[in-house]
Amino acid sequence: MRKHHILHRYLGALFLLAAFIPAWSQDTAPQTSGDNSKVNQRDRNAAEPTADQQKENRSDLELTKEIRKSLIADKSLSTYAHNVKVIAQNGKVTLKGPVRSDDEKAAVVSKAAQVAGQDNINDDITVVPK
């Protein structure tokens, strides 16, 4: 009887483990077309402004903060648009990253222009539909 009980426990554990194998295999699935790995490679170019080049002066930090606040407050924007990189350097703002549509791109650029002025916006946003 004891061997029978041990066998049931072993089989139960084996079935439980088998139930999680599909979930583990999903973690190694290839990235979807919405990823921005190629864009990140472009950003390694020394001529391209990157987030680590954000100026630490008060006015540039304030510009970035206000633009970011405006983007996050707009709940109609996708997570992609909420996460657009905002890089302020001496009053000039570079916007980078993917968004889901041309309308969303226009909304992000418009919100940034309301804060920094249209002439101070460098638009490097890309549209990556679902």
Overall average pLDDT of the 35-60 stretch: 64
pLDDT of amino acid 130: 81
Query: What are φ and ψ of residue 97, in 5° steps?
Result: 125, 170
Q: What is the DSSP letter of 2?
A: H
- pTM score, whole prediction: 0.64
* Between residues 116 and 44, the one the model is more confident about: 116
pLDDT band, very low/low/confident/very high, at 85 (cuts 50, 70, 90): very high
pLDDT tens for each residue of 98-118? 999 999 999 999 999 999 999
Token reading at 83: 């996460």
Overall average pLDDT of the 64-80 stretch: 96
The answer to whether residues 126 and 95 touch, using CB atoms and an 8 Å cutoff, is no
pLDDT of amino acid 47: 61
Task: Give the chain's domains with CATH numbers.
Answer: 33-127 (3.30.1340.30)
- Residue found under tokens 């890089």: 87
* Between residues 9 and 14, the one the model is more confident about: 9
pLDDT of amino acid 30: 41
